[in-house]
Amino acid sequence: MDESEGGPVAEDVRRRIVSMLDAGALRPGDRLGSEREMAERFAVSRATLRSALVPLSRAGILERRGGRAGGTFIKTVLVERNVAELSGLPNRLKQGGHSTTRSRVLATALRGATATEAQRLGVKPDTELVVVQRLRYADGFPLSVDCAHLLAERVPDLLEQPLGGSIYDILAVRYNLAPASSVESIEVVSANPREAAWLEIPTRTPLLAMTRVTSDADGQPFEYSEDLFRADRVRLVAKTTMTAERETLGTDGRVELTVTA
């Protein structure tokens, strides 16, 4: 790419691209097109277009990809998430420098535990649970669909609390309940139509499905969660000790890799 930043016309193209980003007309991951397509779109020469894109590429706003499906794209900012981390998602996003975080409550319920939920939490089926399903955002874009199942006896009035922020913060302040350990499983699934609509992606797009059981300092499980993350927005990071990794064969025939984090 020509390293010249060009003159007034190139600057006008840059401002138009930035304005489209601010207005939401362009979003992370969007393809701007080939040089020819963009030159026609902005009614400028290809040389002027190249000059317009230089500062945006240097600033990390744009990225160029080769190949048949290549072109210039709005760079996608990945959210880094530690495997089996004990911090709530809002705190993790803030630590990662993401400018905005919010949650939209999709559904809540007070109901009995299913057989799977009861097994994960170490309780009897039909034990009363508080269930909160939320759509989570990072930098203004959908990131994940989270569904938390908590033992109702430990969070008796949780559904009366504001659920738009960190549930872990509410647990700590109101119920003196803090996560001390967690066990997490991760696999790749395809988005169904409802999940795809929530996350603003095509149906059957790959998602990272994470299930987690979180326990308190006494080793008692209090939360079982099922979370779906957009695979194009999340990078998983595992920090291991010198403890050897252990491979076993799961009941469904899949190889399970246990990592101490």
Q: Domain locations in the chain?
A: 8-74, 79-237
pLDDT value, residue 1? 44
Say if residue 138 is exposed, middle or buried (CB neighbours under 10 Å; 0-12, 13-18, 19+).
buried
Residue-wise pLDDT tens digits, 160-214:
999 988 899 999 999 999 999 988 888 989 999 999 999 988 888 889 899 999 9
Q: How far is CA 6 from CA 1, 49, 81, 116, in A?
A: 12, 9, 39, 61
What is the amino acid identity at position 148? A
Burial 24-36 (b: 16+ CB within 10 A, else e): eebebeeebeebe
Q: Which of 235, 232, 183, 239 is nearest to 211 (CA)?
A: 183
Q: Does the structure show a pLDDT above 80 at 261? A: no
Q: How far is CA 97 from CA 29, 63, 78, 139, in A?
A: 19, 20, 11, 10
pTM of this prediction? 0.62
pLDDT value, residue 20? 83
Residue-wise pLDDT tens digits, 60-100:
678 777 666 677 888 765 565 555 555 555 555 454 444 44
Average pLDDT of the chain?
Answer: 81
Name the CATH superfamily, with its identifier, for domain 79-237.
Chorismate lyase-like (3.40.1410.10)
- Distance separating alpha carbons of residues 208 and 37, to the nearest angstrom: 34
| First CA to last CA distance, the chain | 42
- Distance separating alpha carbons of residues 237 and 225, to the nearest angstrom: 19
Residue-wise pLDDT tens digits, 85-142:
555 555 554 544 444 467 899 999 999 999 999 999 999 999 999 999 999 987 677 8
Q: Which of 16, 141, 11 is nearest to 78 (CA)?
A: 141
| The pairing of beta strand 234-237 with beta strand 79-82 | parallel
Higher pLDDT: 254 or 70? It is 70
Strand partners, 215: 181, 221
Chain CA centroid to CA 225, Å: 15
Mean pLDDT of 149-165: 94
Query: How crowded is residue 15: how many other Cβ atoms within 10 Å of its Cβ?
Result: 11
CB 208 within 8 A of CB 184: no
CATH 1.10.10.10 correct for 8-74: yes
Q: What percent of the chain has pLDDT over 70?
A: 74
Q: Which of 134, 152, 131 is nearest to 144 (CA)?
A: 134
